[in-house]
Structure 1
Amino acid sequence: MSYCVTRLPYNATEKAELIKYYRLALPQYVYENIAKKSHPFGPYQLPAVDLQEGLNKIESKKYTNDAEMQEDFYQLFAQLHDAHTPYHKPNYYYNYYTLQPISIMSTLYNNAQVIKISSVDKSEVEAYATLYNESSQPDFDVEGWQITEIDGVPALDALRSFADNNIGVLKDNGSRFNLAVSGYKTGRGWFIFRPMGVFGVPTKQSVTYTLQNPSTQAKKKVTYNWIGMNIDGSKMTTSTVQGKNFETIFQKLLDHFIRQELYKKPNAVEFFDSYSTSASVLRINTFSGRDDDFTSQFANNITKALTTFTQSKREKLIIDLTGNGGGSICLGYSLLRYLFPSNVTAFEGQGPHQEGIYRARHSSLTNVLATVSASMLKFNPSYNSFLDPTQFYNSKTRRQFMDASWLSNKEDTVLGDMSQSIYRGCASMYTYFPASGISFQIDPKNLIVVSQGYCGSTCAVFTSYIQAHKLAKTVALGGYYNKAQQLFAFPGGQVGDVGDYIELADSLKIHSKYESAIEPLIPRVPTSGRYNSTGFTYLSIWPWNKDDPSHLPLEYTFVPADYSIMYPGHPTDYQSIYSRILKVTA
């Protein structure tokens, strides 16, 4: 695996182009300045991250291979703990995975947090035996045993260190720990299942676990080598017996990963009417879809589920947002409007979207593009772009913008020079749902919203609104015992794509009078063809009811769940999880 991942040569020209690309892209990133200082975040402390200084260090460093350079770029952006603004390695690296043939979980035992081996997978054990044709195979009779040490380090400390030093994505340490141990929602955490598009090759060939049987107190050590896999099986040879064996094992592992939802995603909406005699469960796995058909189907599935819940006369509803990475922000606002009639006025088109206060960073490129986009509307009223002023409304007067003043009228904020406060028009999407209160109403004491901390982007805005208005009880799963944990992560505000800036800039350059002003500001991806444009947060959202430019944005605001509970068992044992939730919130 190390040979496969590190065999690509280092390209100094490509590095120089990458650095230039990021230096031109970062002025649009709303959190570049605030990230330079360390900030308290609930029981934790966010590190200071100077992206420009990090680029300087990469620029001055010589690398022995491409993988080393990729890892430095990745780690620089991972320190932001902002899933909206990651570094993406070239696609080549995403073909490779390393894994251990076990799954682990975190739970309570005798009122203390412990790590256990939750399962040993037969497909992976078979692959292990084929790859490592040793005279004696390791001891796989370990299911249910507690892990007391990992490579000589207390297990909890080893996993904490891995989560803190290797997993970006989330600012809440407890939520990152969940990703390390149990993953998004599959039970396979990143400590034992590592995509090389995210992590480097393990520095050691094997991992040694010190185990203790919780029933007999017997102790033993087991050592497992890493299993490496390239999911692109197109180059696999079948001309030998060994090659055919590898091909069979490869297909079994791939099928195994799909069954575990490591590749295949669940439906956007799932409803379970009778998890108990008094409660139903509504899982919302994503707010993301490609077209109006998705939006219509999403709204219909939600409406049907909640109508069924109302007719069932069950008292409590659990909304499970575990692993929801977000999607359409207007869809999130529309669902809030439908769910909570007490927070909706009787006026047409009014709703939660008007409470979402956003600001964009004032930069040379954004200023030029916003100005030109606004001027284009005078000649072509149907013209639209992601910086089109007519999609924004003044948060104080609620008047629609017709020019670039939404951006050019700057405010001095904790993030630096930003646009004035705005909200985004979403009223047209409200029509996908029935009138608020018609088919569903619930007392906040009977509504429970739950996640394991990975509820991001639109999901974070959705959840934080519920928390700010005290519309439900909230429960965060996993994390660290007796530590407050967030229900949501990376609310950001609005994620953009550098490619959107490039496309808009290129479309405006056809008007020759703008070309000289725009071209020097455009971030261009490297010419090697290995990179796509990257995402980043270009609109920041402020906490609800706090339209104060000196206040920290929601991204940097720790909002603990009402209850933080450990998993009662396996993280996919939903019956036990929901029973525990109903008990602690009773």
Structure 2
Amino acid sequence: MLYRLFISWSLVFGLSAAQDPCAAIAGKKWVSPQEARACMFSFPVDQDRKSSLIETVNKTLAFHTSVNYQKYVHEDIHADLARIRATSYHSDFDLHLDLYNSFRRLNDGHCRFISAYLPTPLALLTAEDGTQQVHIAPEAFSIASAEFPDQIEFWQASLDGNLKGQLASLSGAKVLLINGHNPFVAVNQNAEITGGYQAFSTRQNSFFSSYSRGAKGWSYVMGNFAQLVHPLTDSVQMTIQRPNSSTVEQVTLPYRARIGSTVRNFTDSESYRTNMCRNVTATNGFNFYDLLTQQETASLPSAAYFEQQPMLDHEDRKHPMNVMLDALPLTDVELPEELLPLPIALNQSYSVAQFYMLSDNITGVLALGSFSAANFTAFMGSLLDGLQELKSQGASRLIVDVTNNGGGYICIAHWLHRILVGPKNTTEPQAGLYTCARAGTLAQTIVEKINKGGDPEEVLSYNPSQWRNSSNLPFSVQSHWLRPTVNLTINGHEDAFSPRLGAECQPFEMTPPEEGLFEPENIVIISNGRCASSCSLFSITMAKHEGVKTVVIGGQQNAMQQYCGIVGGQSTHFTEIDTEIKSTHLKNHTHAPPDFVLGITWRLAFGIHNPAEPEEWQDHPADFNLPLTLKTQVPGLSVSMSII
């Protein structure tokens, strides 16, 4: 769950420019972490705003399906909020950090400004003798030079002794110690707090660099060591052994805080808070039927910036989505030319979906960086056309690379499953998982208002016309589809859910082929474990229903590698729930939250092997774990596919 603060608290007024820590960093692109923190920690807590904030979060969590499940598995978030209410903080950013870390401990990437960087992303590489060692990524200097050209000289000058000016020579070095400890002390400490993914091994993998296929090209993911969400660390000390050297050396590198291009301009503390922390149009929902606010529909929700998918317009956002949110937006660090996939992408490649034919002329590759693209219909067509193009060129085996795929359209996951393996009882009429929604008091009241004519255009998510029952039949126009409620006691807490829900994607917008394009035994799904949301829905159904092999590349050898990170069922966020509330004139309801931003798992998906429990917390061990070596580090298309 992604938590990001948009509540406006009290501002600091009356500071001179010399005293104002935010004025000191205004207009700059790069500052030290200390300078960034001086501004961010300078604002006091307004107790009334704090109380309102906690009330808002508590009420919004009533729509999140997993609250009581997570009390046993990870975190009691309501207890956290009670603790935070009773805690005094030196600054409102201290309050923000406590809230942020509490939600992060849920390890749920559906429910979660200034970043800090190092020029030395790390990689966990396996040597020819099978031993593993943390390295500074061999491509580190190329990446840093391309992405941070205005800071390279700063880092060059920060090196001591004979290493001064020799930043390039650190690339590929073995990292023996980080801050005086075995590197995996830092790896595991990060895994404890980084959140986002259920599996500890996947959170370990988040520490290291990787790659991603975006809508505009291949991107480099710096990893949690080289890119921090908040500028809370000033520097890091590493004990290293450079390539082709037996000498053990120590190097200390400072983090640098970058104020991104999307940050609104500010000149001092007052404008910093006004421009960066107040509610804006896109922060909150709107009454769909209020003609005076129709222009607000043009503003994408603020949470969209943190969704791990390409930015979508309002029309395409109407399709059900299950997408991970992260504290950092999708990376825009370009992959250097020498690291790009060697095969030329086929003509039918489109946006996040790139098709390749390997040199054996029988193995095709679909590199799928997301389950969303700018145009839903074009995306559907490109997946079918690309796979058929591979078949026409003789491909009988297929690799689907979903590395760092944060999810997207649920129905694209269903569509890809269906066209790959053909029509069968696991793909028609339901190629996904059965789900349910939480049926709290306010949710039920929204449905009641809709059933009395409160949604004549049938655009709201709580309208029964949007859903089908467990027999995959559409609900009648005035069905109260949240009833009869299923009352459960989860970890000692009573909860209420809708009856089980079936398929919502079929019939598809276009006709799928009459036969599957590839035999399941000839399909392999590979990733670094960071496959989330709709990516998980696709991978799980392909693995558990169809027997498709799964592979995780890299990771610690003695850790169980899981082929997907978080599942969910359908995700949304405060803005869309707020629109449902306002459009049914329920903003004054006792349980209605004030305006805010929060990610939500809105529908919970049930398991395949254990259908009585959510799939979220069931195991998904990969069939194979392939070591990451100097030859196969980036990207994964060069990995030997003898496992097919």
TM-score (norm 2): 0.73
Aligned position for 1:537:
601
CA distance in 2, matches of 1:171, 1:184: 21
Asked if residue 122 in structure 1 is aligned to residue 140 in structure 2, the reply is no
Q: Which residue of 461, 481, 499 corresponds with 2:575? A: 499
Describe the shift of the 1:131–1:459 C-alpha distance in structure 2 as closer, same or farther (beyond 3 A): closer
For the 8 Å contact 1:10–1:69, the answer to whether it is kept is no
CA distance in 1, matches of 2:110, 2:204: 19
Describe the shift of the 1:383–1:144 C-alpha distance in structure 2 as closer, same or farther (beyond 3 A): closer
Aligned position for 2:344:
none
Aligned position for 2:512:
434
CA distance in 1, matches of 2:420, 2:597: 37
Asked if residue 385 in structure 1 is aligned to residue 445 in structure 2, the reply is no
Q: Which residue of 111, 116, 119 corresponds with 1:101? A: 119
Q: Which amino acid aligns with 1:434?
A: P
Per-residue CA deviations over 1:2-45 (Å, capped at 9, x if unaligned) read: 3323424023233222101011111221111111113xxxxxxx
For the 8 Å contact 1:128–1:227, the answer to whether it is kept is no
Written as runs of structure 1 = structure 2, the 5 A alignment for 1:413-428 is 413=488, 415=490, 416-428=495-507
Q: Which amino acid aligns with 2:429?
A: G
Asked if residue 156 in structure 1 is aligned to residue 184 in structure 2, the reply is yes
CA distance in 2, matches of 1:570, 1:162: 27
CA distance in 2, matches of 1:372, 1:282: 45
Asked if residue 508 in structure 1 is aligned to residue 584 in structure 2, the reply is yes
Structure 2: gaps (5+ residues): 1-32, 213-219, 268-330, 337-349
For the 8 Å contact 2:533–2:566, the answer to whether it is kept is yes
CA distance in 1, matches of 2:478, 2:264: 53
- Secondary structure in 2 matching 1:11: coil
Q: Which amino acid aligns with 1:152?
A: G
Aligned position for 1:53:
79
Asked if residue 582 in structure 1 is aligned to residue 641 in structure 2, the reply is yes
Q: Which amino acid aligns with 1:63?
A: Y
Aligned position for 1:277:
361
CA distance in 2, matches of 1:560, 1:417: 31
For the 8 Å contact 1:275–1:281, the answer to whether it is kept is no
Aligned position for 1:448:
524
Q: Which residue of 447, 450, 456 corresponds with 1:370? A: 447
Q: Report % sequence identity.
A: 20
CA distance in 2, matches of 1:482, 1:433: 45
- Secondary structure in 2 matching 1:229: strand
Describe the shift of the 1:15–1:287 C-alpha distance in structure 2 as closer, same or farther (beyond 3 A): same
Describe the shift of the 1:571–1:228 C-alpha distance in structure 2 as closer, same or farther (beyond 3 A): farther
Aligned position for 1:74:
100
Q: Which amino acid aligns with 1:523?
A: P
Asked if residue 188 in structure 1 is aligned to residue 206 in structure 2, the reply is no
Written as runs of structure 1 = structure 2, the 5 A alignment for 1:6-85 is 6-7=38-39, 8-12=42-46, 13-38=48-73, 47=74, 49-85=75-111
For the 8 Å contact 1:34–1:414, the answer to whether it is kept is no
Describe the shift of the 1:57–1:381 C-alpha distance in structure 2 as closer, same or farther (beyond 3 A): closer
Aligned position for 1:5:
37
CA distance in 1, matches of 2:52, 2:78: 15
Q: Structure 1 residue 257: deviation in Å?
A: 5.5
Aligned position for 2:372:
288
Q: Structure 1 residue 453: deviation in Å?
A: 1.4
Asked if residue 462 in structure 1 is aligned to residue 489 in structure 2, the reply is no
Describe the shift of the 1:580–1:129 C-alpha distance in structure 2 as closer, same or farther (beyond 3 A): closer
Per-residue CA deviations over 1:86-110 (Å, capped at 9, x if unaligned) read: 1xxxxxxx2x221112121111123
CA distance in 2, matches of 1:478, 1:231: 31
For the 8 Å contact 1:392–1:401, the answer to whether it is kept is no
Structure 1: gaps (5+ residues): 39-46, 87-93, 238-255, 526-531
Q: Structure 1 residue 218: deviation in Å?
A: 2.7
Aligned position for 2:624:
563
Q: Structure 1 residue 234: deviation in Å?
A: 8.4
For the 8 Å contact 1:325–1:459, the answer to whether it is kept is yes
Per-residue CA deviations over 1:259-307 (Å, capped at 9, x if unaligned) read: 249xxxx9221111235433121111122245xxx12221222122111
Q: Structure 1 residue 465: deviation in Å?
A: 0.5
- Secondary structure in 1 matching 2:65: coil
For the 8 Å contact 2:632–2:639, the answer to whether it is kept is no
- Secondary structure in 2 matching 1:115: strand
For the 8 Å contact 2:429–2:472, the answer to whether it is kept is no
CA distance in 1, matches of 2:378, 2:451: 34
For the 8 Å contact 1:451–1:475, the answer to whether it is kept is yes
Q: Structure 1 residue 464: deviation in Å?
A: 0.7
- Secondary structure in 1 matching 2:351: coil
Q: Structure 1 residue 568: deviation in Å?
A: 2.4
Aligned position for 1:91:
none
Describe the shift of the 1:334–1:234 C-alpha distance in structure 2 as closer, same or farther (beyond 3 A): closer
CA distance in 2, matches of 1:547, 1:132: 56
Q: Which amino acid aligns with 2:496?
A: D
Q: Which residue of 459, 463, 483 corresponds with 1:408? A: 483
Q: Which amino acid aligns with 1:83?
A: G
CA distance in 1, matches of 2:155, 2:253: 12
Aligned position for 1:208:
237
Asked if residue 171 in structure 1 is aligned to residue 250 in structure 2, the reply is no
CA distance in 1, matches of 2:499, 2:266: 57
Q: Which amino acid aligns with 2:89?
A: Y
Per-residue CA deviations over 1:163-200 (Å, capped at 9, x if unaligned) read: 222x111111111122211156324112111233xxx5
- Secondary structure in 2 matching 1:156: helix
Per-residue CA deviations over 1:303-343 (Å, capped at 9, x if unaligned) read: 22111211111332111111211111122212211111152
Q: Structure 1 residue 400: deviation in Å?
A: 2.5
Q: Which amino acid aligns with 2:195?
A: G
For the 8 Å contact 2:370–2:407, the answer to whether it is kept is yes
Count of aligned residue pairs for this structure pair: 511
CA distance in 2, matches of 1:387, 1:456: 25
Q: Which amino acid aligns with 2:505?
A: C
- Secondary structure in 1 matching 2:407: coil
Let me know the Cα RMSD of the aligned residues: 2.8
- Secondary structure in 2 matching 1:519: coil
CA distance in 2, matches of 1:376, 1:393: 20
Q: Structure 1 residue 114: deviation in Å?
A: 1.0
Per-residue CA deviations over 1:484-525 (Å, capped at 9, x if unaligned) read: 22211221011122222322222222xxxx77xx52211112
Asked if residue 112 in structure 1 is aligned to residue 131 in structure 2, the reply is yes
Q: Structure 1 residue 566: deviation in Å?
A: 2.5
CA distance in 2, matches of 1:116, 1:11: 42
Aligned position for 2:403:
322
TM-score (norm 1): 0.80
